[in-house]
Amino acid sequence: MTVSEDAELVSWLQSAVQTGVLRLHVNYRKARRNDAFHQALVARVGARAVKIRDRFLFGSFALLLVWFGFAEALELNAIMLPVAGSEMSLGSISFFALLLVLVLAGRRFVRPLQGRLLHEVVTSDAELFDSLWRAGALALMAMSGNDRLCSSPKGDWRQFVRRVRLSVE
């Protein structure tokens, strides 16, 4: 397989993903171990955004655990407040408020680094796509046809894309 043929297949794959003919799943945990992927993502959105994305889940979990400790030390669970006609502890109310802040922060900082952006980064270079495929970080799914799923690294993405391309054209 030549580099130009791979580049052509990946280019068609990118347009097929954008039009909805194919779906592409990127396993971020596996993909971020690839230096070329990491560099391409940093070049696209910046190092700060990637660091936030990588550390957000663990940081949020640690913050919630620390908050449980503070709530217990301050005995916030013993303080009861009327909320919507029933009694709730101040510890529960503050926990839900913190959880809401974390969810909103996740929507602001993590969600933009998923989906379409990852698809664009992965399909920007044929060599990057192939190395991520060999690492088991990608899966393809055709929206129609008999052979609908191709997952890495077991499947042959080149043959799969050619079959889908022939069935569409």
Integer Rg of the chain from CA: 22
Amino acid at 109: F
pLDDT of 115-149, one tens digit each? 888 889 999 999 999 999 999 999 999 887 666 78
DSSP state of 156: -
Cβ atoms of 14 and 20 closer than 8 Å: no
Q: Are strands 86-89 and 80-83 parallel, antiparallel or unpaired?
A: antiparallel
For the segment 52-56, the average pLDDT, to the nearest whole number, is 87
Domains of the chain: total: 1
- Residue 43 belongs to what domain range? 3-168
| Predicted TM-score of the model (pTM) | 0.75
